[in-house]
Amino acid sequence: MPIKLFDTLTREILPLEPTSPAEPFRMYCCGPTVYGPAHIGNFRTFILQDVLRRALELQLGKQNVIHARNITDVDDKTIRRSGEEGLKLSAFTQKWTDKFHADCEALNLRPPAFEPRATDTIAQQAALIEKIMENGHAYQGKDGSIYFRLSSYKNYGALSHLNRDELKTQDTNSAGQANDADEYVRDNVGDFALWKARKPEDGDNFWPGPRVNGQPVEGRPGWHIECSAMIDDVFQGKTIDLHGGGVDLCFPHHENELAQSMCAHPHDCGYRFVRHWFHSTHLLVDGKKMSKSLGNLYTLDDLKQKGFSPTAVRYALIAGHYKKQLNFTLEGVAAAQTALEKIRHGLSQALKEFNAPLDFSKLIAESAQNETTSLLCNNESFFWKAFTDDLNTPKVLGELFIALGQLKENPSVDLIKQIAFACYGLGIDPFADADEKAPAQIPEDVAALGAQRWQAKQDKNWPEADRLRDELATKGFKSLDRKDGYEIVPL
Ligand SMILES: [Zn+2]
């Protein structure tokens, strides 16, 4: 049963499969612009893409999915901020690329197979722009920059479902005032910059670009052309099976990528740029749009400082469906942390039933192996059904709690393996960065102290219970008490 996913262009839920069974599934996601720490809205998109990639790997086999995600390391913001810090652009963007990688690792995002950087593919971008110009879809404006001629591409607006009659498109007559911003709104559509001619404020950050009349135009790329060129470079000009990004990238970024890439090819060659467009919806924080001025723009570090684990943050970010607006709140992350504790507790109880201690994290890792996959990834699995149902992550989490209920009634290794499989797909290891570890790691003397303390509590011998609590603490453990029992966990 293949994964079915909503496609932005056709507005249909369609199965995800490679172009042909002999080919890998080619997946490209727009990556971060590295001028500061990514915020949780960015990470929600990357985490959902990671879940999708994991599910695709379960469906097709790990080696049959190629995931590329770029690094945008040149634009107005990176140039301005590196100047303010007195750093070379490359040193500045490397610093924030490293930070991005560290956050990704903490959030259990698997690194992409390819991670091209915009500044490493300037030559490919220039070549692509030359092709677009040759095909009559671009021109040099009076300011020296090279613009895409919107009126030359009749399908412009199809992806973001713009009404073409409403487009206020410019033509070459207004080229001098053409729009060289990378981001703009739907009612301000105009010819957009493929290549920005060198300006004094760019400092040393310019490259020899596409040639016009045999002469390279010095400057730097527009944002949109970077992705078109990197996709061609990584996937050797082949159609990609899926292109992903946050919904804010649909227009103008993806619309422009699509126009450029189509216009770099002859009209009648039957070329297709992307088979499936995957956009995840915006995040609200405390019911409002995230913004610096509202003070609700959280980074992973902000949340870690508030005592939340990266696993809880990941959990909170996938607790809503990717097509629905998720309202992120601190209460929501706290609830995710509690949910993770419940999962750990349920699993710990069940794992205790088996004489040989089962390592749940190892079971998760094994879920990704093909022989296990064929066993689990079938039509019988409720987890798999939820994954394939338009990447329904909240449903997978719901099924997980149903399974935990069943596990309490009837502990079975098969069911534990099924849960491990769901955890692999979601990228959530309940034991990963928790205070608690799996039960097998509690030393015997500590377990004995825990039992004595519980007994003292049952006997209402409070001073003794307190004394034993302190003794547990000196050994680095504490007891989590519940109505019907307790659990010893590291402090
Ligand atoms: Zn992009």
Predicted local distance difference test score (pLDDT) of residue 135: 95
The mean per-residue pLDDT over the stretch 272-286 comes to 95
CB atoms within 10 A of CB 401: 13
- The DSSP string of 342-354 is HHHHHHHHHHHTS
The mean per-residue pLDDT over the stretch 111-131 comes to 98
Find the Cα–Cα–Cα–Cα dihedral 343, 344, 345, 347, rounded to 10°: 80
Distance 385 CA to ligand 1 centre (A): 30
Predicted local distance difference test score (pLDDT) of residue 479: 87
Residue 312 to residue 307: CA distance in whole angstroms: 10
CB-based burial label for 484 (10 Å; 0-12, 13-18, 19+): exposed
Distance 254 CA to ligand 1 centre (A): 6
> For the segment 426-459, what is each residue's pLDDT rounded down to a tens digit?
999 999 876 544 444 677 888 889 999 999 999 9
Higher pLDDT: 93 or 479? It is 93
Q: Is pLDDT at 295 greater than 50 in this prediction?
A: yes
Please, what sign has the CA dihedral across residues 233, 128, 95, 48?
A: negative
Contact between residue 420 and residue 367 where contact means Cβ atoms under 8 Å apart: yes
> For the segment 162-183, what is each residue's pLDDT rounded down to a tens digit?
876 666 554 443 444 456 667 6
Distance 469 CA to ligand 1 centre (A): 55
Residue 418 to residue 468: CA distance in whole angstroms: 38
Tokens 């009209």 label which residue?
Answer: 267
- For the stretch 406-415, contacts whose Cβ atoms lie closer than 8 Å and that sit 24 or more positions apart, written own/partner, are 407/346, 407/347, 407/350, 408/346, 408/349, 408/350, 411/349, 411/350, 411/353, 411/354, 413/354, 413/358, 415/350
Predicted local distance difference test score (pLDDT) of residue 435: 53
> For the segment 306-360, what is each residue's pLDDT rounded down to a tens digit?
999 999 999 999 999 999 999 999 999 999 999 999 999 999 888 888 765 678 8
Question: Would residue 219 be called left, alpha or beta, if left means φ above 0 and alpha means ψ between -120 and 50 degrees?
Answer: left
Distance 142 CA to ligand 1 centre (A): 27
Distance 32 CA to ligand 1 centre (A): 9
Q: Which residues belong to CATH 1.10.730 in the chain?
A: 287-426
Q: Report residue 243: phi and psi, to 5°.
A: -125, 125
Provide the token pair at 362: 């190892």
Predicted local distance difference test score (pLDDT) of residue 126: 98
pLDDT band at 267 (very low <50, low <70, confident <90, very high): confident
Distance 305 CA to ligand 1 centre (A): 31
- Amino acid, single-letter form, for residue 171: D
Predicted local distance difference test score (pLDDT) of residue 353: 80
pLDDT band at 376 (very low <50, low <70, confident <90, very high): low
Predicted local distance difference test score (pLDDT) of residue 437: 44
Q: Is pLDDT at 122 greater than 60 in this prediction?
A: yes
Predicted local distance difference test score (pLDDT) of residue 481: 84
Distance 132 CA to ligand 1 centre (A): 18
CB-based burial label for 57 (10 Å; 0-12, 13-18, 19+): buried
CB atoms within 10 A of CB 103: 23
Percentage of the chain beyond pLDDT 70 is 91
Spatial neighbors of 453 by CB under 8 A, at least 6 apart, are 464, 465, 468, 469, 472, 479, 486
Predicted local distance difference test score (pLDDT) of residue 364: 86
Sheet with 277-280, edge to edge strand ranges: 65-69, 25-29, 242-246, 277-280
pLDDT band at 71 (very low <50, low <70, confident <90, very high): very high
Contact between residue 242 and residue 16 where contact means Cβ atoms under 8 Å apart: yes
Predicted local distance difference test score (pLDDT) of residue 310: 96
The mean per-residue pLDDT over the stretch 235-244 comes to 97
pLDDT band at 106 (very low <50, low <70, confident <90, very high): very high
Distance 229 CA to ligand 1 centre (A): 10
Residue 312 to residue 328: CA distance in whole angstroms: 12
- The DSSP string of 44-71 is HHHHHHHHHHHHHHHHH-GGGEEEEE-B
Predicted local distance difference test score (pLDDT) of residue 292: 78
Distance 284 CA to ligand 1 centre (A): 22
Distance 147 CA to ligand 1 centre (A): 18
Distance 253 CA to ligand 1 centre (A): 6
Predicted local distance difference test score (pLDDT) of residue 168: 58
Provide the token pair at 215: 């002469």
Distance 149 CA to ligand 1 centre (A): 19
Provide the token pair at 161: 């479902």
Distance 222 CA to ligand 1 centre (A): 11
Distance 36 CA to ligand 1 centre (A): 18
Residue 214 to residue 220: CA distance in whole angstroms: 18
Distance 95 CA to ligand 1 centre (A): 21
- The DSSP string of 185-221 is -GGG---EEEEEEP-GGGTT--EEEEEETTEEEEEEE
Predicted local distance difference test score (pLDDT) of residue 170: 46
Distance 146 CA to ligand 1 centre (A): 19
Distance 12 CA to ligand 1 centre (A): 22
Least confident segment among 104-108, 221-225, 362-366, 433-437: 433-437
Distance 287 CA to ligand 1 centre (A): 28
Superfamily of domain 4-280: HUPs (3.40.50.620)
**Could you tell me which of 289, 276, 253, 247 has the C-alpha nearest to residue 70?**
253
> For the segment 188-201, what is each residue's pLDDT rounded down to a tens digit?
567 899 999 999 98
Alpha helices for 264-307 (secondary structure H): 300-305
- The DSSP string of 147-163 is EE-GGG-TTTTTTTT--
Please, what sign has the CA dihedral across residues 371, 377, 382, 388?
A: positive
Q: Which residues belong to CATH 3.40.50.620 in the chain?
A: 4-280
Three state DSSP letters for 81-105:
HHHHCCCCHHHHHHHHHHHHHHHHH
Architecture, CATH, for domain 287-426: Orthogonal Bundle (1.10)
Distance 131 CA to ligand 1 centre (A): 19
Residue 244 to residue 122: CA distance in whole angstroms: 22
Helix, strand, or coil (residue 394): helix
Q: Is pLDDT at 133 greater than 80 in this prediction?
A: yes
CA separation, residue 369 to residues 54, 58, 59, 152, 377 (Å): 12, 8, 11, 49, 11
pLDDT band at 280 (very low <50, low <70, confident <90, very high): very high
Higher pLDDT: 153 or 166? It is 153
Predicted local distance difference test score (pLDDT) of residue 363: 85
Distance 230 CA to ligand 1 centre (A): 9
Distance 227 CA to ligand 1 centre (A): 5
Predicted local distance difference test score (pLDDT) of residue 178: 52
Cis-peptide, bond into residue 18, ω within 30° of zero: no
Distance 225 CA to ligand 1 centre (A): 8
Distance 224 CA to ligand 1 centre (A): 6
Distance 435 CA to ligand 1 centre (A): 38
Least confident segment among 41-45, 96-100, 134-138, 355-359: 355-359
CA separation, residue 40 to residues 49, 224, 339, 483 (Å): 14, 23, 20, 36
CB atoms within 10 A of CB 488: 23
Distance 29 CA to ligand 1 centre (A): 7
Distance 76 CA to ligand 1 centre (A): 16
Predicted local distance difference test score (pLDDT) of residue 172: 40
Predicted local distance difference test score (pLDDT) of residue 188: 55
Q: pLDDT averaged over the chain?
A: 90
